[in-house]
Chain A
Amino acid sequence: MANPQDTALIEVRGLKKYFPITQGIIFQRKVADVKAVDGLNFAIKKGETLGLVGESGCGKSTTGRAILQLYRPTAGEVIFQGKDLVKLQGEELRKMRRNMQMIFQDPYASLNPRMTVGDIIGEPLEVHNIAKGKEKKERVQELLKIVGLNPYFVNRYPHEFSGGQRQRIGVARALAVQPDFIVCDEPISALDVSIQAQIINLLEELQTKFNLTYLFIAHDLSVVRHISDRIAVMYLGKIVELTDRNALYNNPLHPYTKALLSAVPIPDPVVEEKRERIILVGDVPSPVRPPSGCHFHTRCPLVMDKCKKDDPEFRNAGAEHWVACHAV
């Protein structure tokens, strides 16, 4: 499906993650599934940043976690460095974590409050047998310097830092094992706007320096435009459009993408005045019972009879511009 090229670092095929809903007092039985991620196909090339955007609850974070096997996927394959992560178990999977890391959304909750910064950043070095003792300490201090923190902070605890500094600690922790691939799960959503830019710049700097590959999850379209090479748009557990950054912003094909982009304010009062917003009607349907056919048909301005019956194929509309829509 999505251009499985030779240079693809990670390839996701038919990825699904359903969360069961159970009912019953004594005997729990499954009554339905929350189809958080419902069949994703895409690849990320080595050294690129793939942006993943969508509304809250559309399955972006679940996708990131399912790729890293923090949630075990319900179905599908995640091929990373020639291995299918979904099939790996226990120790094998744990060893793979050396090559893939995650930067978490909430810098306040994702750092263990009882561990010093040195322990937090140094722990991955120890569990993957990279460095110990004095070497570990030096490496931790070096990492702190790389992310722009004072290396003397090693003995401090997370609560002594601000949100932006904490996120830098999170970045240093992810970098410690020198991974190839990092999932950035809304790394800036919890930060002040002024700090957001700092973290984005840091992530870009580190990408060039260490040749990192990012899956960048966000809901802020301008940030995603800034940092991504290619962008995937998600709606209710599915990718509806995937193409390179400029094509997506200049020539969006999917009606959902158009609606999303029309919601971005333009920092120019004259242009902003003329901006036409496409207002979607209704709410996002429940992922427990997604609409038949195209998931978007309940809110789509271009809806046709066909959309209610057939799930549109995710196809290449030319120049690697992938889209899932009957109307295109």
Chain B
Amino acid sequence: MVNYLIRRLFSMTIVIIVSSFLIYMMLNLAPGGPLWELTQAGSSRESALTREDYARLEKMLGLDKPMHLRYIIWLAGDDWLDGGTRKGVIRGDWGESWRVAQGMSVMELISSRIGNTIILSGAALLLSLIIAIPVGIIAAVKQYSKLDYALTAFAFFGVAMPVFWFGLMLILVFSLQFKAWGLPALPPGGTESLFGPDQGSFLDRLQHLIMPAIVLSLFQTASWSRYMRSSMLEVLKQDYVRTARAKGVIERLVITKHAVRNALIPIVTVIVLSLPSLFNGAVITETIFAWNGMGRLYINALTRGDYPVLMIFLLISAILVVAANLLADVVYTFIDPRIRYS
């Protein structure tokens, strides 16, 4: 197992370095970029910006150097070159934001957002788990019953429903209409109230969390419940489930102890591989509900060419995806005694 982990960590490092290089190149080669806005006709600064100004800005951001050199400086810093001050990402220097929050360190920027994202994505993840697993089990045990068809219909609804529309409809009904009808309404957006007596209290935050968490979890809940159902159907057909019945095990235990425990094995992979969303956040849901999380930060940085922020975001995402894969493989050894690594 230790040898296996060492081998995996080694290959993971290579994968991450290669992907960081590819990400860097793709971002820099893509049209647009941090100075693009300034060069467009109609921009307020276009008239005032001379060629010299532009060159000066490029030099300031380090965009005047060749691309491969920029990548090396980003990765390893330039304090070993003449006049360099940067230490590079591998020595913990994440740089400063260029445009989203000019001058703010990327580390600070991300840590100001990550909390909100963990709350929202975590709540959605938990909600999905709590609903999808039992729904899948029930649908499989009662295969082809009316209940199964109803749950299947729900799953198709959840998978097919566009997040932006569903989010807006919830806001329309539970925030606007409920308020108009004089019913207790949910806040339409934000992570907490901006003013009021219980601004920032647990209850206040919870109220803000309900709708975005439901919207974000809908797709996951629906698809996971289908995975669980089919995995469960597969297991229920197995001989050892019949063995359990022949032993005289109570039906409830046949389902939970013998069937569910085996049916969960493939589901665990799906769940573990979704864990990076705790960092990545959700662009659409966060945008609709004005949730100040990582998803919004990412889309902001992307549209405005804020390379330092984008690079750290994408690098950490890549690391988390690779790590989640390793975690899934390791978790397997605990839940499936047939799997051993060496």
Contacts and interface: CB of A to CB of B under 8 A. Distances in A.
A and B part of one assembly: yes
B336 A113 contact: yes
Given A113-B337, A159-B337, A127 B247 contact: yes
Interface string B242-264: 11111111100100001001100
B240 A124 contact: no
A52 interface: no
Given A114-B261, A157-B338, A159-B337, A109 B246 contact: no
Given A110-B239, A114-B337, A98 B262 contact: no
Contact of B247 (A114, A116, A123): A123
B85 interface: no
B243 A159 contact: no
Contacts, number: 68
Given A113-B262, A114-B261, A114-B337, A94 B240 contact: no
Interface of A: 28, 68, 70, 94-95, 97-98, 101-102, 104, 106, 109-116, 123-124, 127-128, 157, 159, 170, 173, 177
Nearest to B265: A114
Given A157-B337, A157-B338, A159-B337, A113 B240 contact: yes
B43 interface: no
A28 B145 CA distance: 11
Contacts of A173: 243, 247
Contacts of B338: 113, 157, 159
A109 B262 contact: no
Given A109-B238, A110-B239, A112-B258, A101 B337 contact: no
Contact of A112 (B240, B246, B335): B240
16 contacts: A70-B246, A95-B248, A97-B248, A98-B248, A102-B246, A104-B239, A106-B239, A109-B238, A112-B240, A112-B243, A113-B337, A115-B258, A127-B247, A127-B249, A127-B253, A177-B247
Given A159-B337, A159-B338, A110 B242 contact: yes
Given A110-B240, A112-B258, A101 B246 contact: yes
A123 B247 CA distance: 8
B82 to A, nearest CB: 63
B243 A104 contact: yes
Interface centre among B144, B238, B243, B258 (most CB of A within 10 A): B243
Contact of A127 (B144, B248, B262, B336): B248
Nearest to B248: A97
Contact of B246 (A68, A113, A114): A68
Contacts of B262: 112-114
Contacts of A128: 248
Contacts of A98: 248
Contacts of B336: 113-114
Interface of B: 144, 238-240, 242-250, 253, 258, 261-262, 335-338
Contacts of B144: 28
A98 B337 CA distance: 29
Contacts of B246: 68, 70, 97, 101-102, 104
Interface of chain B: mostly helix, strand, loop or mixed? helix
A159 B336 CA distance: 11
Contacts of B245: 70
Contacts of A109: 238-240
B236 to A, nearest CB: 13
Nearest to A128: B248
A312 B245 CA distance: 37
Contacts of A112: 240, 243-244, 258, 262
B242 A104 contact: yes
Contact of A124 (B238, B239, B248): B248
A104 B242 CA distance: 9
B248 A111 contact: no
Contacts of A68: 246
Q: What 3 A-B pairs come out closest when comparing CB atoms?
A: A97-B248, A109-B239, A110-B239
Contacts of A115: 258
Nearest to A106: B239
Contacts of A70: 242, 245-246
Contacts of B240: 109-113
A327 B253 CA distance: 53
B146 to A, nearest CB: 12
Given A157-B337, A159-B337, A110 B247 contact: no
A292 to B, nearest CB: 34
A124 B337 contact: no
Contacts of B247: 97, 101, 123-124, 127, 173, 177
Nearest to A183: B246
A187 to B, nearest CB: 13
Interface centre among B239, B253, B338 (most CB of A within 10 A): B239
Contacts of A116: 337
B324 to A, nearest CB: 23
Nearest to B245: A70
Given A112-B258, A114-B336, A173-B247, 15 more contacts: A70-B246, A97-B246, A97-B248, A98-B248, A101-B247, A102-B246, A109-B239, A110-B240, A111-B240, A111-B243, A116-B337, A124-B249, A127-B247, A127-B250, A157-B337
